[in-house]
Structure 1
Amino acid sequence: MRDVIDGGDQYKKTTPQELKRFESFVNSCPPFDIVIDGLNVAKMFPKGRESQNLLGVVSQLAQQNLQLLVLGRKHMLRPSSQWRKEEMEQVRKQAHCFFADNISEDDPFLLYATLNSGNHCKFITKDLLRDHKACLPDARTQRLFFKWQQGHQLAIMKGFQKSKLTFQHILSYDTVVQRTGDSWHIPYDEDLVQRSSCEVPTKWLCLQRKTPDPC
């Protein structure tokens, strides 16, 4: 878990003291069900105020009696046209919140909280975590991280203010070439798309060995 969280350069934008403070904070809380990248989620709906967007997502998830963690930056607590104090107070009433220094890197916090909470925990962000994956020490760790990411990252497909949140379905199978008996199942895209994230093809090409005609 340490290799996945660190990525080799975690202290370039995050101090050891802040990581220590975060670890203590996480250990003082119950396991989380969903970890939310607050700044990322707040910017998902350009028509809305950022604090309003974040509050809308948190409120809908809180109605399901989930243990939520919102990760943010300290500037989100300063009242402004995008960040209203009363809306952020409502966020803090419905979720555990940790606000890091404005220069801090989000990824280590997001990954630590999710992994530390157990396999049931999911995380919400549009960030594909490519930079973090590229820092992992070897190809095996990168593959393990990619597979874990596929099963734990929730992507919001639609939902704004009072409309119901819709998440992209998490696949319960590996999107890799598979063989069953004399059949091969190959994931593919109709267009040539480079995939270096948790996004995967949704279409499959199924091939079956042709039975020779009897003589």
Structure 2
Amino acid sequence: MHTHQWIITYKVAKYIQDWFTNLKHERWVGNMHAKINRGYMCSKCNQSLSPPDMSQFPLSQMADTFHETVIKGTNIENLYLTATSDEVITLKQFLDSQTEPLDCIIDFLNLMNIRKFRFCESSGSFVAEVIRQINKDFNLRRFCLVSKGIGIVRRPEFWNPIKMLGNQLGISVHKFCTNAKSEDDAFLLYMAMKSGPQCYIVSNDEYNNHRYSSGPKLGKQISRWQSLRQLVLQPHGRSIYQKPSKCDLCVHGSLETGWHIPYYDGYKKFHTAVDSWLCLRRLE
């Protein structure tokens, strides 16, 4: 349970709570509405959970394997299925040209569509405000917009408010555009993994197809990495995105210390967007 990403539904979590609290020879108290704060502390019992260990992800190796299996393809049937050979070369040149690793990769089209931003001259202002919020929440400084090569990203007026924000905050924002028929999602995932453990991705896409295409082992690694490094865009409300999990989405604890179990709350089914925990404490 400690090594597998095992997220249950609210209904199952409630069954577990009831089972523990109804034990005849042991006294347990359960709370279905625990949250984990920035100090990895449970909001109900004040017990500290283990912080996420990013060293569990060999990101450079993961990126290289993803590059071969998904971006390039491993056989004649899927060779360059998600990208052209020229794009693969351009991608390498782009990453090699970076003086420092990127901190945040943003799925531009996904952002525009989910937040219902208009594709117009003011689009740059919308994007700048999103970047401002991410910088405030996570202190990230090197951003990249990944998108299919649509015209708006190539217009100077789009970049004016973003450049102004960059001068204010001391951040840099780059762009990487793919062909219209290429799968820009694959580039986004690769760039983020290649950039290292500090890099976040911004999208509400779960990337199921790419995780499946990369194979069961790498797919599972990517899923766990997403849960700690993906900002999930929200279509409604003042909150632009749901922050990633503060801890590994696995069962924490023991019979002696108690249990903390992540679960899906209500309608939320996005596999990385889990911030509800069942807190179980053993009473003396």
TM-score (norm 1): 0.75
> Where do 1:74-113 residues align within 5 Å?
74=149, 76-77=150-151, 85-90=155-160, 93=163, 95-113=173-191
Q: Determine the structure 1 residue equivalent to 2:33.
A: none
Paired residues, number: 199
Structure 2 distance, partners of 1:32, 1:91, is 20
Q: Aligned-pair RMSD on alpha carbons? A: 3.3
**Aligned residues of 1:115 and 1:121 also touching (Cα < 8 A):** yes
Correspondent of 1:72 among 147, 150, 155: 147
Corresponding residue for 2:263? Answer: 188
- Give the structure 2 partner of residue 50 of structure 1: 119
Percent of aligned pairs with the same residue? 24
- What amino acid is the match of 2:212? A
Q: Give distance in 2, aligned partners of 1:120 and 1:10.
A: 31
Tell me whether 11-20 or 83-92 shows the greater mean CA deviation: 83-92
Corresponding position of 2:108: 38
2:210 matches 1:129? no
Q: Which has the higher contact order (CA 8 A, sep 6+)?
A: 2
CA distance in 2, matches of 1:107, 1:145: 13
Contact 2:245 2:273 in 1 (8 A): no
Helix, strand or coil at the partner of 2:278: strand
**C-alpha distance after superposition, 1:142-180 (max 9, x if no partner):** 2211111111111234799xx8x6442322212222333
Give the secondary-structure state (helix, strand or coil) at the position aligned to 1:14. coil
Q: Name 2:45's counterpart in structure 1.
A: none
Q: Name the CA distance, whole Å, in 2 between partners of 1:10 and 1:41.
A: 29
The answer to whether the 8 Å contact 1:157/1:166 transfers is yes
- Equivalent residue number for residue 65 of structure 2: 3
| Pairing 1:177–2:229 present | no
Provide the residue aligned with 2:26 in structure 1.
none
Q: Is the 8 A contact 1:13 1:104 kept in 2?
A: yes
Normalising by structure 2, report the TM-score.
0.59
Q: Does 1:29 align with 2:98?
A: yes
* Paired amino acid for 1:90: N
What CA distance in whole angstroms lies between the structure 2 residues aligned with 1:201 and 1:10?
39
Aligned-pair CA distance for 1:45: 2.3
Counterpart of 1:118 in structure 2 is: 196
Partner amino acid for 1:146?
S
Structure 1: stretches of 5+ with no match in the other structure: none
